[in-house]
Structure 1
Amino acid sequence: MARKLPALGKELVDRIEEAWQQPQADWARKRLLVVRLIALHQSSVAEIMTIAGVCRQTVFTYRDKVVAEGVEGLLKRDWAGARTPAVHGAVEDEFKAKLEAGDFRQARDAQKWIAKRTRKQLTESGVRKLIHRLGGKLKVPRKSHRKKDQAASDAFKAELPGRLAAVVGERPDKTVRLWVLDEHRYGLLPVIRRVWSRRGVRVHAPYATTYKWGYLHEALEIDGANDAQLLFTPAINQDIHALFLKQIACSDPDSLHVIIQDQAGFHLRAEDPRLPANVRLLPLPPYCPELNPVEGFGRLLKAPTANRLYSNLRQLEDHLIAVARYWTKPGQVRSLIHGWMREQTNAGAPL
């Protein structure tokens, strides 16, 4: 038989109202709201549950407590607070720094570090929850060449406006268009990528060892029209690179085109006579591919071709062209450009 809510005595009701008028913590206010609704005797248990946001048992628990111990007992909280987590404060900041540096290959590595640093033993499950709470995620690290100079990479970002001004001059007589350029190799050897599948089921991808390659040259405009230029070639060398630079130059002959590119051996240098007259080169620091947004463009083009076999390069190129139609739209090109690069180029370059 369902429990009913009998009327509370007048003296108890007066005390509830008196407490209700006084400042209270959120948890105390909720308890008083429940018993106050009971005292008013105008709402059913279901309605009180909805109004106060509590379960049915809580309504009766608060009602029994206020009857047995009065308002003072209702507002007494036997709670000493949550226990202090093992990783907090300065230790938490240190742990986050190690996460950002990729120092933990497994949750077990983090578990050992926490035990050594705090002398507290967490379970592996607890460590994973901690990592997720702090924004951690299992990732495949990006390769970084041992010769990379991080200081040079940081300096390029900071000095980009000045370097652009030095390349184009303080008062260029033409409209300046700024590009980032790179190349990607594609071929009939399949690219194997992860796929979603059911747990316990082994997924297979078609594979054949076929060594036939082609090269896709890509240039993305950093700002302005956010244009894109592509060129498919069977090989890659300085003459072919000169051909791609000529393609960019001819896309807008009346403008000055500044090309940001890496220092690959098959890239032209600023003094090369094959360089078009309206093209200027701005080299990236060595071994810093993360500075070039075109790296991401190449990965996006290749993604739909993963785990698939193609009978010939033309078939693969047709698929790449179809994918490129989407990613070469101005809005998509803009989304690929690094925010710092767009800000820095607009900070001092006469674009």
Structure 2
Amino acid sequence: MGGVAGDRLVDSEAAAAQSESGDAHGARGVQKKVAEVVAEEAARHPDTPVEAFATDEHRIGLKPVTRRVWAPVGERPIAHGHHRFEWLYVTAFVSPATGESFWYVSNGVSKPFFEALLRLFAEEAGAGSERRIVLTLDNAGWHSEASLAVPDGLRLVFQPAYTPEVQPAETLWTLVDEPVVNKHIPTLEALEEIISARCAALASEREKIRGQAGFHWWPKIANPR
């Protein structure tokens, strides 16, 4: 997914715009806000499940991903690498309460692309037809509320600026990176194949995802069937 236009970002000033969740309480405020919005949606739609999801993007490319490893005393571990600046983007939508996740790989990010991605996610997740989804996300420029078309069944809650610690989807990237850690990947096509397979596998591992992203304060499903 993506395209040439995907490499163009919207106005960077839009990222600083405050949203419905921005307040003086910072990171702790978003916890209360998500719970409040879930409760509001549950009251408005008493016969429909309401679930809180989170979304984030991860840039991964041909620049090697390195991590520390164990090695015998006196020996220095070696990982082959070739620095190149070509990138893919992984977007995850995750329900911390259940571990359900949706994954998308693209060659760029932009506001039109994000709108298309929201429509695809809403369709695949059954938003509007089967459940209401409260979606928490950061204030990246391509997420900005101004003129953003939001599908029926989704309600966006923006986290305060500089609070990655309240974003459950942010914790998933260590899992995504595992197949390429300390390895040389020759081409972007090869990287896409590896990462796409990894994301497909993670989508079926709900317990692993819930164990990674299941923040203790995250609201449970309201109006469960």
Aligned partner of residue 222 in structure 1, secondary structure:
coil
Which structure's residues are more often helix, by fraction? 1
Number of the residue aligned with 1:240: 113
Aligned partner of residue 281 in structure 1, secondary structure:
strand
In the alignment, the residues of structure 2 paired with residue 159 and residue 257 of structure 1 have an alpha-carbon distance, to the nearest angstrom, of: 14
In the alignment, the residues of structure 2 paired with residue 278 and residue 337 of structure 1 have an alpha-carbon distance, to the nearest angstrom, of: 23
Superposed CA offset, 1:133-174 (max 9, x none): xxxxxxxxxxxxxxxx994112222443223334x2623153
Superposed CA offset, 1:200-222 (max 9, x none): 11222112121111111111123
In the alignment, the residues of structure 2 paired with residue 202 and residue 191 of structure 1 have an alpha-carbon distance, to the nearest angstrom, of: 17
Number of the residue aligned with 2:180: 305
In the alignment, the residues of structure 2 paired with residue 320 and residue 154 of structure 1 have an alpha-carbon distance, to the nearest angstrom, of: 33
Q: CA deviation at 1:350?
A: 4.3
Q: Aligned-residue CA RMSD in angstroms?
A: 2.3
Is 1:157 aligned with 2:34? Answer: no
**Counterpart amino acid of 1:338?**
G
Number of the residue aligned with 1:274: 149
- TM-score normalised to structure 2 length: 0.78
Q: CA deviation at 1:268?
A: 4.0
Number of the residue aligned with 2:199: 324
Aligned pairs, number = 197
Greater relative contact order (Cα < 8 A, sep 6+): 2
Q: Structure 1 residues 285 and 331, CA, compared in 2 at 3 Å: closer, same or farther? A: same
List runs of 5+ in structure 2 lacking aligned partners.
1-22
Q: Structure 1 residues 158 and 191, CA, compared in 2 at 3 Å: closer, same or farther? A: same
2:134 is matched with which residue: 230, 251, 258?
258
- TM-score normalised to structure 1 length: 0.52
Runs of 4+ in 1 over 6 A off after TM superposition: none
Aligned partner of residue 60 in structure 2, secondary structure:
strand
Superposed CA offset, 1:100-119 (max 9, x none): xxxxxxxxxxxxxxxxxxxx
In the alignment, the residues of structure 2 paired with residue 273 and residue 295 of structure 1 have an alpha-carbon distance, to the nearest angstrom, of: 23
Alignment of 1:1-351 (within 5 A): 151-166=25-40, 168=41, 170-172=43-45, 174-224=48-98, 226-251=99-124, 252-253=126-127, 254=129, 255-269=131-145, 272-328=147-203, 329-342=205-218, 345-346=219-220, 349-350=222-223
Q: CA deviation at 1:196?
A: 1.1
Q: CA deviation at 1:314?
A: 1.9
